[in-house]
């Protein structure tokens, strides 16, 4: 399975490279530079610091969202009384585009990294919370009752039944959230910042430096792919039983 996945990934990469070269040839205005031009525009001293800043912003945001959303979602799924009061608030605020809160976060938290991390974490929080809550609610009661009859405490039930049962759903929501977080990252890095891949892309675009712009685009793509692959590895290690 790993070999097939690797070969399919190589095939997809070659196909995208072919499409890239094709459009770089037919579009003579230079809007889409060739891969060779992009490689020439790549400078480690420019790319590496911006990549690390963007990685740090996304990574910290995901950690904050996970630590806040997962326990809360597990709790709501197992406590219907609390869920009846809190669920309406969640589902009324969930559809609201969180991007509109960026000016408010700038006012409250300043224009630095804290407000940018807070916005990404806020968006991802809802995605993980809803999935975790639904997964926790779907845990079969007989499994919980079996542990209770053996004298298990509430913490034991969460540790040995609820968390393992919800883990695949949590990781799936995290996988989806990575794409969302990278998209929001580009948005927040286009305001009041002098670092990050989003800022690099917009600066290069403003100067019509399209090769450098594509360096930033590829960097942001690699950022998303890397985080996605980390979640894939975690799922294989933590959810071996799900693949049996």
State pLDDT tens for residues 66-77.
999 999 999 998
Distances (CA, A) of 90 to 110, 131, 163: 26, 12, 21
Ranges under pLDDT 50 in the chain: none
Q: Please tell me the predicted confidence (pLDDT) of residue 201.
A: 92
Q: Please tell me the predicted confidence (pLDDT) of residue 120.
A: 92
Q: Please tell me the predicted confidence (pLDDT) of residue 5.
A: 67
Q: How many angstroms separate the first and last alpha carbons of the chain?
A: 14
Report the alpha-carbon distance of residue 230 to residue 81 in Å, rounded: 36
Q: What is the pTM of this model?
A: 0.86
Q: Is the dihedral of CA 174, 180, 183, 188 positive or negative?
A: negative
Contact of 169 with 235, CB cutoff 8 Å: no
Q: Please tell me the predicted confidence (pLDDT) of residue 157.
A: 79
Q: Please tell me the predicted confidence (pLDDT) of residue 193.
A: 80
Which CATH superfamily, name and number, covers 42-243?
MetI-like (1.10.3720.10)
Q: How many CA atoms lie within 13 A of 149 on its CB side?
A: 6
């Amino acid at each position: 399975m790993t070999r097939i996945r690797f070969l399919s990934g190589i095939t997809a990469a070659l196909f995208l490279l072919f499409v890239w070269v094709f459009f770089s040839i037919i579009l003579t205005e230079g809007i889409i530079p060739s891969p060779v031009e992009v490689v020439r525009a790549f400078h480690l001293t420019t790319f590496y610091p911006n990549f690390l800043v963007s990685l740090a912003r996304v990574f910290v945001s995901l950690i904050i969202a996970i630590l806040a959303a997962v326990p809360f979602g597990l709790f709501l799924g197992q406590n219907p009384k609390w869920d009846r009061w809190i669920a309406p608030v969640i589902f009324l605020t969930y559809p609201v585009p969180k991007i509109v809160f960026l000016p408010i976060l700038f006012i409250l938290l300043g224009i630095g990294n804290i407000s940018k991390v807070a916005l990404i974490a806020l968006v991802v929080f809802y995605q993980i919370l809803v999935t975790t809550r639904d997964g926790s609610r779907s845990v079969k009661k007989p499994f919980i009752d079996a542990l209770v009859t053996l004298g298990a405490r509430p913490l034991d039930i969460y540790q040995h039944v609820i968390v393992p049962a919800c883990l695949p759903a949590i990781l799936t929501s995290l996988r989806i959230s990575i794409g969302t977080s990278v998209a929001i990252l580009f948005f927040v890095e286009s305001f009041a910042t002098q670092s990050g891949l989003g800022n690099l892309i917009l600066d290069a675009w403003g100067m019509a430096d399209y090769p450098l712009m594509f360096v930033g685009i590829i960097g942001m793509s690699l950022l998303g792919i890397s985080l996605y692959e980390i979640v894939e590895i975690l799922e294989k290690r933590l959810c071996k039983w799900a693949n049996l």
